[in-house]
Amino acid sequence: TGAGYTHFVSQQGGVMLDTLSKVAQILSGLAVSGAVVFAIIQVRQYRQQRRDAAAVELMRTIQSPQWAKALHVLGDVPDGISASGLHELDSEFEKAAFTIVAIYETIGLLVYRGIAPFALVQELTGGTVGVMWRKLRVWSEEMREERDHDRFAEWFQWLAERFAEHPVAGGTGPAYTRC
């Protein structure tokens, strides 16, 4: 009976070890799957935080005194003003134009890279981007030639063209007229 009992226990132990091994494999797979899901959630949260930070920085940029002054200075400049026409007005007008270009260059690149959401930037700046591009397009093109720098105002132009291609969701009118 002793040999039979030992054989029975070793058989039972082998079955039990096999079962425990399978359970451990299942638990290991679940742990890895859980870690992957957790990592995906963390990456999404990081991306959202990055977008939120970009939105806050965007708000700071477009609410800066320099931006407001540049918009004010260029407000009455005719659409399509030339480089010589802007230069004749006053150095303040040229400084304002460079300020607008620098700000919209940065914003355009942030949108292109997906750091700043297109829809948010369009809601915040879409109207002024279009107006300023109409005013400064000819000047920008002439600056490219004059400075032999074909990338001058490239992201400003890109942003204005994308906004023209993709009207604001919910209509193109002012926010107070939308449902």
Residue 175 DSSP one-character state? G
Choice among 22-31, 33-42, 105-114, 169-178 with the minimum mean pLDDT? 169-178
Q: Name the one residue in this structure whose structure tokens are 């659409």.
A: 79
- What confidence tier does 14 reach under pLDDT thresholds 50, 70, 90? low
CA dist., res. 54 & res. 111, Å (int): 10
At residue 129, the pLDDT reads 93
Residue pLDDT, tens place only, 97-107: 999 999 999 89
Instruction: Enumerate residues 6+ apart whose C-beta is below 8 A from 133.
Output: 156, 157, 160
At residue 133, the pLDDT reads 96
Task: Give which of 75, 103, 101, 78 is closest to 88, Cα–Cα.
Answer: 78
Q: Is the pLDDT of residue 157 over 90?
A: yes
Task: Give which of 95, 96, 103, 111 is closest to 163, Cα–Cα.
Answer: 111
CA dist., res. 128 & res. 121, Å (int): 11
CA dist., res. 3 & res. 60, Å (int): 84
- What confidence tier does 130 reach under pLDDT thresholds 50, 70, 90? very high
Residue pLDDT, tens place only, 72-120: 999 999 999 999 999 999 899 999 999 999 999 989 998 898 888 888 8
Q: Find the mean pLDDT for residues 10-18.
A: 63
Instruction: Enumerate residues 6+ apart whose C-beta is below 8 A from 159.
Output: 104, 107, 108, 111, 121, 129
Q: Find the mean pLDDT for residues 122-137.
A: 90
Q: Where are the alpha helices (DSSP H) in 63-117?
A: 65-74, 83-89, 91-112
In the chain, what is the straight-line distance between the N-terminal and C-terminal CA atoms, in Å?
87
Q: Is the pLDDT of residue 137 over 80?
A: yes
Task: Give which of 76, 78, 83, 90 is closest to 139, Cα–Cα.
Answer: 83
- What confidence tier does 2 reach under pLDDT thresholds 50, 70, 90? low
